[in-house]
């Protein structure tokens, strides 16, 4: 089946209550699209219904509950008759040095940031495949390429998220389904709020280091989240969307420098690496 026209797309968005999810859900509705907006608590997005009426479907969804994911996806599809764009946006960050976090905290982070999006992908794939089209978007981060200390586990979840979506893109191309990884830099969203940050029990050995880290973070220039929808719309409206797109002006210079450094290190150690190949046939 041919793709629907550029106007009047149907979106399924996880994590619509705040941050980018909220900004993008509202922007899509304002341009006349239809949105299945999901959040862990329905009351956090109930006002969208008052504002946009039948163009929005409000669904309760905790992405770590696979049964709830399947039900929400099916409800959205039944309600609107199709799904054009699936936006995997729910996630949170764990504030912890690598030594501090316990296994349960790391597991919980991965359940939301990695296994949750996978559950959404698995639930929508039969629908998109039957349609013969669809566009899966995943909200990653510039931290899917580079890392920061103190939120290393969050960065690692985004590296995993990136790899999953990159493999997915190759696998589903044959069905006419597109995949794009959205990579925002630092923005003035509620992502820094208590709801989006979980703090592990701290160790005294890292106290001063973490204070210094947060001091530097507070001084970081942040983008305006309300400036982002146009970039998102350009991605979903184009015939050949990119696999990855940065949001913000700081990501490319930082990532470029990081990769140059990595390449320089690999090059410097190339003789050692090549010798390790051996002569086995």
How does pLDDT run along the chain (281 residues), one tens digit per residue?
Answer: 444 444 689 999 999 998 899 999 999 999 999 999 999 999 999 999 999 999 999 999 999 999 999 999 999 999 999 999 999 998 989 999 999 999 999 999 999 999 999 999 999 999 999 999 999 999 999 999 999 999 999 999 999 999 999 999 999 999 999 999 999 998 876 544 445 578 888 899 999 999 898 888 877 888 999 999 999 999 999 999 999 999 999 999 999 999 999 999 999 999 999 999 998 76
Token pair for 187: 């923005």
* Tokens 């050995």 found at: 205
CA–CA gap between residue 31 and residue 202 (Å, rounded): 45
CA 157/CA 124 separation, integer angstroms: 22
Establish whether 212 is a catalytic residue: no
pLDDT for residue 1: 40
Q: How far are the Cα atoms of 24, 147, 235 from residue 231, in angstroms, in the given order?
A: 11, 24, 6
Write down the catalytic residue from 77, 96, 156, 158.
Answer: 158
Structure tokens at 241: 């969307």
Contacts of 208 (CB under 8 A, 6+ apart): none
Question: How, if at all, do strands 56-60 and 85-88 pair?
Answer: unpaired
* Annotation says 140 is catalytic: yes
Measure the CA–CA gap between 38 and 61, rounded to whole angstroms.
Answer: 6
User: DSSP secondary structure string, 99-128?
Assistant: TT--HHHHHHHHIIIIIHHHHHHHHHHHHH
Reduced to 3 states, what is the DSSP secondary structure of residue 19? Answer: helix
17, 96, 140, 156: the catalytic one is 140
Catalytic residue among 77, 110, 154, 187: 154
b/e map 5-15, b = 16+ CB within 10 Å: eeeebbbbbbb
In 66-206, alpha helices (H): 66-80, 103-110, 116-131, 152-172
What's the CATH architecture for 10-267?
3-Layer(aba) Sandwich (3.40)
178 flagged as catalytic: no
Distances (CA, A) of 21 to 15, 16, 131: 5, 4, 25
Which pTM was predicted? Answer: 0.93
Count CB atoms within 10 A of the CB of residue 203.
12
pLDDT at 172: 98
What is the torsional sign of CA 69, 231, 91, 138?
positive
* Phi then psi dihedrals of residue 5, to 5 deg: -70, 175
Distance in angstroms (rounded) separating the CA atoms of residues 120 and 107: 18
- Please, which residues have CB within 8 angstroms of residue 160's CB and are 6 or more apart in sequence? 110, 113, 114
Instruction: Give the pLDDT confidence score for residue 216 in this predicted structure.
Output: 84
* Residues 60, 68 contacting (CB under 8 angstroms): yes
**Any idea where the domains of the chain sit in the sequence?**
10-267
């Amino acid at each position: 089946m041919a793709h629907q026209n550029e106007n009047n797309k149907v979106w399924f968005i996880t994590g619509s209550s705040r941050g980018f999810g909220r900004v993008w859900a509202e922007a899509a509705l304002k341009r006349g699209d239809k949105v299945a907006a999901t959040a862990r608590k329905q009351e956090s997005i109930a006002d969208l219904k008052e504002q946009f009426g039948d163009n929005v479907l409000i669904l309760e969804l905790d992405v770590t509950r696979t049964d709830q994911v399947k039900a929400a996806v099916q409800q959205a599809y039944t309600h609107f008759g199709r799904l054009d764009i699936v936006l995997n946006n729910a996630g949170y960050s764990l504030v912890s040095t690598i030594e501090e976090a316990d296994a349960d905290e790391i597991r919980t982070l991965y359940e939301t940031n990695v296994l949750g999006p996978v559950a959404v992908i698995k639930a929508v794939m039969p629908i998109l495949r039957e349609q013969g089209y669809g566009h899966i978007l995943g909200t990653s981060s510039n931290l899917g390429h580079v890392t920061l200390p103190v939120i290393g586990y969050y960065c690692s979840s985004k590296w995993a998220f990136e790899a999953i979506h990159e493999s997915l893109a190759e696998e589903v191309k044959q069905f006419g389904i597109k995949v794009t990884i959205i990579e925002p830099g630092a923005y003035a969203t509620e992502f820094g709020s208590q709801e989006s940050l979980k703090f592990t029990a701290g160790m005294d050995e890292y106290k001063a280091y973490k204070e210094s880290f947060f001091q530097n973070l507070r001084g970081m220039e942040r983008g305006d989240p309300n400036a982002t929808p146009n970039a998102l719309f350009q991605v979903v409206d184009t015939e050949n969307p990119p696999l990855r797109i940065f949001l913000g002006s700081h990501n490319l210079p930082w990532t470029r420098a990081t990769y140059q450094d990595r390449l320089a290190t690999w090059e410097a150690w190339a003789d050692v690496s090549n010798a390790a190949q051996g002569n086995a046939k």
